[in-house]
Every structure is written in C-alpha cells, then in structure tokens.
Amino acid sequence: MSASPSQALDAIAFQLMAALEKYDADSARMVDTWPDLELYREVSTEIENIRMYSAALPEVRVQWVELLIAHAELIHFLWRVKYGESGDAQEEIASVREHHSDCVKALRNRSIRVIHRSQHFRGPAAEALPPRP
C-alpha cells in the first residue's frame, strides 16, 4: 500500500525539521570554530538537503528563501571577518546569528503548520507531531 500524497508531504516535512535541527546545531558550531573547512562542507551539504526538502513543500518557499539568504549572509560575514575587515565584529555577529536563527525557526514553524494542516484534513493527529507553534 502506498502513502497518500498528504502522508508523503508530512514525511518530507518531518525530514525537513530533522535536517533543520542538524543544520542549526552544526551552523552554530561552525561559527564558533571558523574556519573549520570540513564543518563548512558539512553545513553546505545540509543546506542543500534543506533546499531539496523545501522544494517539495510549496508552503515553505518564503521561509526557505529567507533562510538561504541568512545562510549566505552568515557565510559572507565569517569570510569577511577572517580575511577582510573585522571592525565591530562581535556586535555584528550577534545580529547576524540572531537573524539566521530566526530564519531557521521560521522554516521549522512553517513545516509544523504544514503537518498540522494536513493532519487536520486527514483526521486524528499523529503521536509524533510536535506542538503547534
């Protein structure tokens, strides 16, 4: 028996949330250990996985683009501080990290809403469903 389209989308949304958890932890570690190029490669792979999951869920496209931009800004900031101007780096990194974290949370919350909406139309919620933001 194959999964219904909404069940398949729920599975993708759960995979997206798991990928976001790993990405969030690894990107924070990457900032703290910059320039760890192996970790940078892992985080780059993780953002690509998030892109693939997000592509299957049109409802998250705005939040995905916001995260992609925040990711690019974070990486640009890290390279700029390491090899260019560092000026008020400590003050600025806090702002860049906060915006990046907000974008991760927004995509995670949108994914949860996608699942909740799907569960609402299908019937009782799954036990593994996270609380609604």
Using the predicted structure, report yes or no on whether residue 60 has a pLDDT greater than 90. Answer: yes
- Does residue 131 belong to any structural domain of this protein? no
Using the predicted structure, report yes or no on whether residue 2 has a pLDDT greater than 80. Answer: no
pLDDT in tens, 6-44: 788 899 999 999 999 999 999 999 999 999 999 999 999
pLDDT in tens, 62-115: 999 999 999 999 999 999 888 777 667 767 888 999 999 999 999 999 999 999
- Does residue 129 belong to any structural domain of this protein? no
- Full DSSP string of 22-86: HHHHHHHHHHHT-S-HHHHHHHHHHHHHHHHHHHT-GGGHHHHHHHHHHHHHHHHHHHHHHHS--
Using the predicted structure, report yes or no on whether residue 128 has a pLDDT greater than 70. Answer: no
- Does residue 130 belong to any structural domain of this protein? no
- The count of domains in the chain is 1
Whole-number pLDDT of residue 96 = 95
If one compares 54 and 91, the residue with the highest pLDDT of the two is: 54
- Does residue 53 belong to any structural domain of this protein? yes
Q: Residue 85 belongs to what domain range?
A: 5-122
CATH number at residue 104: 1.20.120
Our CA dihedral for 30, 36, 38, 43, rounded to 10 degrees, sits at 20
Whole-number pLDDT of residue 126 = 46
- Does residue 68 belong to any structural domain of this protein? yes
- Does residue 128 belong to any structural domain of this protein? no
